[in-house]
Chain A
């Protein structure tokens, strides 16, 4: 067997073993007679399959991804735009940076009732909740990516008679590409948090509804399956984006 595939097999074995260990511990802890509200892994997994079979889980996800994607795409476009603007212009930086710092520091759960107060309980409010959480990291990453451009490359561009727009297009943006993409990935991760908070605090829909409902009627395996599924969905999506990022911007050729 070639070396690389042997290494890959060994890595896969270890990954499998770590999953087995975690789920095994979960199973044992669940069978410990401490709390009836903590189901073992096996029951949770079965509940998960039941919820897929009866269509409730797919339906819930269909409604959860809507505010998530709309929110992340909207603040992806606007946030990258703002971040680039802030990086390139002192005036935009001066007027926007304080707002972002406040947004980043604000406890979201406290703002959500205000969003509901103004925008009601519909899709708009949930999109806003996602946007509030995802925007700061997207903007800040784009902004920092632009700001951290290697000054020596900018000087080189000027020395070889590059114009300001060539400087932006040929040096600054490619240089910031990797950080901007990383900002989108982190923004999506924040978006997952935002959408679940919105579904728990505003109106129970989608996955938030499954968690609240099954919790209230003491279907703990179902409730845990919903919680685990959203964690799994977020982790897999973010990891996938991270791999894409590494392929698009290999460490050796990225500027920052």
Chain B
């Protein structure tokens, strides 16, 4: 069932936390290369746990994760993470925050500043290089988080509910910009969200997880022609609307 173009494979992953809470059970799925896949499920279903296991930030209790044909036993250079709470250094400027991944890898100061400046401009924050995180709005902070992940030029970007602490209007704009940013890059994105609309709007494929302990409930491929269409056209697309309905029918049974 694992497709040959899968870049990330999750094989029988289970996670039981100390204290006996079972977050995930026997999760097996694959994420195709160059696509944006969403992990969607009811709250507390272990979506974030699964993402962090893929990222190598927490070890699975059972099963394994393979990335690019190699077994994951920790974080790696081919994976970059975008955090729900941004995880920016409050004492560092936007420039240093964006360049932080490169700083940790020992890239020279001039070189990493150059890369960071370019990424800052691409996420639409040009002019804010020397600002500090507390001077930015939530949406802008997450743009910094995204620029930091893009700066290390990883193949896979793991995004943990990146827009959940951002208001609705900022979130919509950010979603549109994200699709724009990814259009010309060959990135594989795994995106955790609890928003059905967000998943349907952004993804090429949705992995629906059941209630805790999370298992794969369903994999929904999306066939929405995005191309040059405007965001509003996508949101009126019949496939988009049908998918939203379908996901809701599945998720409804988990919501009490």
Contact = CB atoms under 8 A, between A and B. Distances in A.
A252 B87 CA distance: 15
A109 to B, nearest CB: 41
B75 A255 contact: no
Give the size category of B's interface with A. Answer: 20 to 34
Nearest to B154: A160
A18 interface: no
A90 to B, nearest CB: 16
B105 interface: yes
Contacts of A156: 81, 83, 87
Given A152-B83, A252-B132, A252-B134, A159 B91 contact: no
B77 A159 contact: no
A160 B134 contact: no
Interface centre among A150, A156, A157, A162, by most B CB within 10 Å? Answer: A156
Contact of A161 (B89, B105, B134, B135): B105
A113 interface: no
B132 A159 contact: no
A252 B88 CA distance: 13
A255 B91 contact: yes
A160 B152 contact: yes
A174 B89 CA distance: 9
A166 B103 CA distance: 10
Contacts of A252: 90, 132, 134-135
B201 to A, nearest CB: 26
A31 interface: no
Contacts of B79: 159
B100 interface: yes
Interface residues of A, number: 20
Contacts of A155: 57, 83, 87
B242 to A, nearest CB: 36
Contact of B75 (A161, A170, A254): A161
A63 B55 CA distance: 60
Contacts of B148: 160
A253 B57 contact: no
B101 interface: yes
B80 interface: yes
Contacts of A153: 87, 89
Contacts of A162: 104
Interface in B3-54: none
A29 B79 CA distance: 74
B153 interface: no
Contact of A254 (B85, B91, B100, B105): B91
Contact of B57 (A159, A166, A174): A159
Interface string B84-126: 0101011100000000110111000000000000000000000
B90 A254 contact: yes
Interface in A5-49: none
Contact of B85 (A152, A159, A161, A170): A152
Interface string B58-84: 000000000000000001110111010
Given A159-B55, A160-B81, A171-B89, 10 more contacts: A155-B57, A159-B75, A159-B81, A160-B75, A160-B148, A161-B77, A163-B104, A253-B90, A254-B91, A255-B91
Q: 10 nearest interchain CB pairs?
A: A156-B87, A160-B101, A159-B81, A252-B134, A162-B104, A253-B91, A152-B87, A159-B75, A253-B90, A160-B104
Interface of A: 150, 152-153, 155-163, 166, 170-171, 174, 252-255
10 contacts: A153-B89, A158-B57, A158-B75, A160-B104, A160-B152, A161-B75, A166-B104, A171-B89, A253-B134, A255-B90
